[in-house]
Chains A and B, each alone.
Chain A
Amino acid sequence: MASPHPESPAGRLAPPLRLQSKPLRQPQPEPSLGEILRRNGVSRRGFLKFCAATATLMALPPSMVPAIAAALETARRPSVIWLSFQECTGCTESLTRSVSPTVENLILDTISLDYHHTLQAAAGEAAEHAREEAMNANQGQYILVVDGSLPGPDANPGYSTIAGISNYEMLMDTVKGAAAVVAVGTCAAFGGLPKADPNPSGAVAVQDLVKDKPVINVSGCPPLPMVITGVLAQFLTFGKLPELDEYRRPLAFFGQAIHDRCYRRPFYDKGLFAESFDDKGAKAGWCLYRLGCKGPMAYNACATMKWNSGASWPIESGAPCLGCSEPNFWDAGGFYDALSVPPGRPGEALLTAGALGAALGAAAGALGRRKVKTAGLAHQAVTADQLEQQL
């Protein structure tokens, strides 16, 4: 089957990686996105606007809007199954945290969210039934979204079950027919809080278990809602996996460090730092590095996309970035310790080792001194007679 949408400029921008299965289109009746919108009375200008917003959503430059429009015109709605495991629902909250319908919602309306046990009305066996139905109806086509980590195959499955099914079993069962897996949130992507030391539930990340399907990590605790929908929009629009970083995160959103896009960066460069949360520097909006900002090592889109419909974001609110989009961020040292500060108490190690070294050195030094003294005691005086024998 030929590629259903022509090679667009977006195709050049998008990565070579493609879904292993057939593109996210179904051979028959499903109407295309353009048709759906037009049926809903959306004009061409409205569609253009939708595309412009989608470009923003996908962190693509506005010049990509025509390409997006061309792609969306023919795109068809994919089926999405959403599994929630050891999570706090924060990711779902983030996704739905819109005061009123937005373009994100439009995207969500466009996808067919067939199973999301937090959002759906059905419960128990009926819900599971819905999942199985969706799986059967879209074998090899659906996108599996996971939020939350899950107890690994060797861990006690009792830590997290749904309808008596262990998370592990449900994931492995559902992933079989999926076209791709989107791990939403740091828990699903990297294990997150459940996996933090000492990891009582034996939590693992989705990518630790799913090896034969493409996995996209949308990390963050929670991720930006626009990033979640942006990744789905990318699927929807281009039918391709986005280009990923070493943690399988879409580069479009995770390609730059918070530090590199932070509006307070000029203060870092000038060496102007807030040193407490209420000092002069804090009030003047100076850099929060010394208050523990992990911006330099955190890769996320908060600095540009911001939160709460663009109202603000942590650093703008005066809080240092926690680096929540990074693996193991819970164990990466104190949230309010500067990035250069190591976890643990190295000072104690230093003191202990120093004391030990002093003792060892004293012993070694005593040996050396004894050697010198012994040599002194064994001293054979040099005499003129002895010297004369050399002449």
Chain B
Amino acid sequence: MIASLEMTSMDFLMWTKGPLFQLALTVFALGMLVRLMEIFMLGREHNYALPRGSAVAGGLRTLYRRFYTDAGTFKSAPFDVVVGTLWHIGFIVALLLFIPHVELIKATFGIAWPALPNPVVDAITVITLLGLLAALVHRLLHPVKRFLSTHEDYVIWAVTFLPVLTGYLAYHRIINPYPLALGLHILTAEIFLVVLPFTKLTHIFTAWVARYYNGATFGRKGVQS
């Protein structure tokens, strides 16, 4: 009753940094572990066929081999390959190699690694934003993408784009006061975390599982997939 009911930007920041962050992490961890366990618990049937190659080696190789695009696919979808790769790398670099993020990870998980200088991350963020915008336009215009796209695809685009955008705005102090800018950034990141396990954003984690299975299936047959 006494405390003012309207939320100040500082209250907002403390709310997003404190309870909301805990909540978002909880939902994320809970949801994602459920998703992963659901996958693993299904298991695979025993394979009686005599292997030609190593399934495990093939699976592990495909984990990284899928980062290379074959020449034919590159030729038929250069935009996807270039822009997709660009903004994915940009997103990951900004997420993992920006100093404030490294500090956050250090405080949360107790592990840290060297970060990139701010101007580098800044430039990468701009590329990421442009890449994401281009990816959206492409999704809206490309016949196959437009055909396949569901509401969810656009939702996860927005959920991915917003933390990068608000991060950029906060870094450049374009939104004032700063606690509001930072709070918005954290809030959008939290939305990303909460939405992640319930959408195809799960691919951040499950793509590795998928790649492994793919590589293992082909690897067993002596084919590098």
Interface positions of A (Cβ within 8 A of B): 152-154, 204, 207-209, 245-247, 257, 259-260, 268-273, 289-290, 296-297, 299, 326-328, 331-333, 337-344, 346-347, 349-358, 360-362, 364-366, 368-369, 372
Contacts and interface: CB of A to CB of B under 8 A. Distances in A.
B27 to A, nearest CB: 7
**B interface majority secondary structure:** helix
B41 A246 contact: no
Interface stretch (B1-9, B69-77, B152-160, B209-217): B1-9
A351 B32 CA distance: 12
- Residue with the greatest number of chain B CB neighbours at <10 A, chosen from A154, A268, A354, A372: A354
B100 A342 contact: no
Contacts of B33: 353-358, 360-361
Contacts of A326: 10, 179
B48 to A, nearest CB: 16
A148 to B, nearest CB: 16
16 contacts: A207-B4, A209-B2, A269-B119, A270-B119, A328-B14, A337-B103, A338-B99, A339-B100, A340-B100, A340-B104, A349-B29, A350-B108, A352-B26, A353-B26, A360-B37, A361-B37
Contacts, number: 173
Interface stretch (B16-24, B52-60, B78-86): B16-24
Contacts of B106: 341
Given A358-B33, A364-B37, A154 B2 contact: yes
A225 to B, nearest CB: 24
B104 A245 contact: no
**A interface majority secondary structure:** helix
A361 B34 contact: yes
B147 interface: no
Interface residues of B, number: 54
A340 B27 contact: no
Contact of A296 (B41, B104, B178): B178
A30 B26 CA distance: 66
Nearest to A245: B177
A349 B20 CA distance: 12
A227 to B, nearest CB: 18
A246 B40 CA distance: 52
Contacts of B100: 289, 338-340
- Residue with the greatest number of chain B CB neighbours at <10 A, chosen from A246, A296, A357: A357
Contacts of B40: 365
Nearest to A289: B99
B173 A260 contact: yes
Interface in B99-114: 99-101, 103-104, 106-110
B218 to A, nearest CB: 24
Contacts of A338: 99-100, 103-104, 107
